[in-house]
Each structure stands twice: as C-alpha cells, then as structure tokens.
Structure 1
C-alpha cells in the first residue's frame, strides 16, 4: 500500500471513529448544516404533478404527494409525519427535525441505516405546481421507516409512548402490500388501462380506515370525567384504570339505548378469548355507515346530559326521558330510586 493510500485509510478510520464518538444531537446538527449548505447552492426543484387538493388519502389522514421534474415521487413532510401518527414536537423549520430526531435516537441505531438517517435529515426542497415552497421525502422512505419501526418493536426496544407509531406502521405496511399485489395483477392483465383513475387510492383508503378503527378514540374523555364526578369518585389522573362496574353502567346508558337488541347482538357476535371474555371493544363490531355514526351521536347527547346534571340520579332521570331503553316505556318524571350513584 502506498503512503497516500495509508494516509487516506488513516483519515477514513479517523472519520469513522469521530462519527462513532458523536452524540445524536451533534450528528443532527452536522446534518442540518450540511442540508443548509446544500440547499443554498442547489437549483430549486419544481413539481410537475400533484396538488394540495388531491392528496394521498390513508383513512382520515391526508398526505400531499407530488412528482418532481426529475421524476422522483415525494410525500410532503408534515403529511408524512401525521401519517405515522407522530407529533411534530419542537422546531422543524429545516423540514425534517422531527423525523431526524426519531431516526437518530440511540435505541433505533441497529434498525436504521445511515442512508435513512441522512435522508430524514435532508428533506427535498421544492416548489409545488402552484409555486408554494414545500419540503418532502421520496415516497419510498415511508416503507423504509415502517420497516425500521416494526423491527425495533419486535426486539422490544421502542418506548411505551412510541407504541402507537408502531401500530400505525403495521397498518400502513399491510395496506401497501395489498395495494401492491392488486397493482401488479392489473399491470400483468392490462386492466390498469381500464380501472378508474383513483381506484387504488380508494381501495387503500377503505382498507386503512377499517384497520384504524380499533385505535380511534370513540368514547370522549369527557364521558369518563363526568361519570367519575356524578358517581362521587375522584378521577385517577395517574392511571387509566376505571372501576369494573363502569362497564355495566356503560352498557345501560349507551348500548341498551342505541337500538333495539343491539347490546345482545354485539355480545353474541364479538370474538371471545378462551376464558369467554370479549377480545375487543363492543363498538368495533358496529357498522361503519350506520352503527358507528349513531354511537358517536348518542355519546355526544349523553355527555351533554351529564354536564347538565348535578348527581347520578338527576342524570338518569334526564337520560330516561330523552333516551329510554328500547323495550321500556318512557318513565314519569318521578324521583329516581334505582341507584344512589355512590360506588356500587
């Protein structure tokens, strides 16, 4: 080996050693400065296709997407972050701080390639067809991020507060796999030239919406806040545990008043564990087009009645007048005697 080669090898070894010694914060700052310098000297890219009015829809998430003049497909940064169910957090004026922080954290080091870290730290700066300045990432980065997140979850290194991100990543990966096989069949058969322009997007949207339903917060926090107040109980701010009998109360004030026989049918059709307990929430069995919207409407009314009531008996009297149980006659406005509202 020549002296110059030895020198280069020594420099390379020194560079690797320096990189290993840097903290995640130092690596992010170097990447940020590199991105700033690159943008200052790089010609501005323009998007030839795409519009804010026609985003990629994933359930109730919308990710603006574009095709740049060099042919790259990009997803707009804030939409991508929402798609992964991440909070923005902190400053992301350089167009990638949130994702850069996530991918460069130590616990993900074994699952995130150097290339992915660099790509998240250096989003693409471009102009939309309307002329607005935007930041984005090549569309394939979403699949790479999902793979890394799921690998980290399998090894048990994700933090508890990051579990919802992994749940979203799993849903996205399954959705993209389904759409991918459909697109391949369409291409092989020639059907891609006949299908509707947005057919694949609609299939993805329907699939993701169904998959996301178990994670949608259906019962508002006010419902339980008011239930604790009316029952004369202190709300446990340090725990999500609720008294077991709250389930019995919920069946009475919600499901028995939602539609005739709905509670019995939900209990009958709900998948059970080996011990006979329901595997999921009852509302997850409701139909998307009728049952679920009706439940949300009923809950809104119930919470309003709760807030207008001073105690449990007062609430139940109002509820029985406005939303009687199906199969029962509307009671006269007499004093409520069935439950004193104090614990069990």
Structure 2
C-alpha cells in the first residue's frame, strides 16, 4: 500500500511542506498578542475534549484567594452555588506530586486516596466526591479549570491524619500528614472566628470597619487646592479612539466625565468613588463644584490616582478601538469589587 493510500501521504510531502512554510510565515506576521490568543483558543479546545462526558463548563460567579496559615488556595463559587477549590492547588497544598501530565495531575488525588495505605480511612462519600472533577471557567474567562468541592479538603486531611495515627502511612507520605495537620488547625481557627462573627452580628460590622479604614487612607479630611492631574496625552488618546475632534477651546464632550468616572475613579478601591460622589455631589446644573481628586489624600489617594491615569493612558495609546482598550484594562486592572479584583487585591489606587 502506498503512503497516500495509508491516509494522506508522507509527512514530508510537498503539500505538507508548503502548508508548514505558510503557517510559519503567517505566525511571523502576527503580533505577540495574536499568537497568544490563538494558543489560548487551541488550549481551550483541548480542554473541551479532555473530559469524555463533555458538557459545557460551569461559570464561576465569584473568585478569591483562601489564605490558610501561610498557604494560599484559589477558590471559587460556581453559578450553581457550589464552592470549589482549584484541583491542582489542592494537590500542591497537600504536598503531593502532580503527575507526569495535566490529565494525570487531575487524577493524582484519586490515585492517592485509592492507595492501600489510605483507602481504609476514606469514606464512601469522600471517595465519590474526590473522583468528580468539576470543569469551570473563572469569572474573568480563560481556559477551562479543574476543581473539587471545597469541603473535601478537610475530609482528606481527616483521612490522612487517621492513617498516621494508626501507623499506616509510608515514610514518603509523612509530609502530607504534616500539611494536613497544618490545614486542620488553620480551619479550626478560621472556623471559630467566622462562627463567633456570625453569631454576634460582627460580620457586618467588620465589613463596615474595613471600608472605613480604606476611606481614611484615601479620602482627605479637608478639600485640597486644585491642581492639574490629567495630562494632555490622556485626552489626546481618548479622543483618538472615539474619533472626536480636538477643539481649540479645550472643551470636552460630556461622555469624557463618564469615562473618567468608570475607568479612572471606578478602578480605585471599592467604596472610594461612592464616598467621593457623596462629598462632591453635582449642583443643579449637573456640574460638580470641585474635582474629585481634591478630596483624595496626598500620600495615598493621589499616587494611586496618578498610577491609574498612567495605566489608562498607556492602554489607550496601544489600543486600536475602545473594545480592545476595555478588554486590556479589565485584564490589567479589574473594577473594584468584582470577583477578579477581590482575588488580586484586598485593598488597593474624574474629573
């Protein structure tokens, strides 16, 4: 049978060589961002086919970082209300090796719990839940992630510690028991604090205290003198993307104020913009008596505002349209209070 009869010819056939050269030439002509986007899409397609049962991945509505002792675990709340932890981070937190591939890494948990040293201490419920890999996407998008229900981490720790008490663990598994003990103790401390806060109603008070601390750092006690804070290049790039003509009298369309509110002040820590608008309300003519930045502190508020203006100006300059700008900004600096923002920063930085 010829090579062509076996299914498409030899790999070094003239046709495939031409296709390969064409693909490489096309790749060279792309920008780094375009190549990254194609790679990301290809990775997502591979993940879509990773689980035989398929099905559309769930979407996470909230994301954050669970800090336990000195450990940090990415955690999510899915659209169906389930709380999940990243499967790979759970494996790493317990001190387990990931396996030789992504697919094997996902099963590392199952293999460990099925081991003869641990299996006698694994409940039927834990065995069932640990074998269920949850496929989901983070709130900000990206490739499909693999997760486990968060509650099983404590159950795994209990099983490991029970195995250690009975002398069942191998020498190379002892470090996993050490990690399990650290986690269990941390869970106990965090759990009792949360229970007390909930029982006493302090949880809501704690959130108010946190907001107050942010406002004290960002909002000045008195009105500061006006000073120019938005450079000409900021408006030049903004007008370019909106195709607005630059007027000699420097008057700006009303939407400029809305843009500054959303993409400059709206990216400061949650609660700051609301306090600025409370202190600096619009007059009857719709205009504000002062500039918002006159209410920000010199040592924290102004430096953060300046960094935000610089970031937005830079992204405006490298964007070809507003859609691209918004996508880049959402990736670089999520809006305050969004799940992605909460995951990246606990506090943080219109004219």
- Same fold, TM-score > 0.5, yes or no: no
- Higher normalized contact order (CA 8 Å, seq sep 6+, divided by chain length): 2
Q: TM-score range by the shorter chain?
A: 0.3 to 0.5
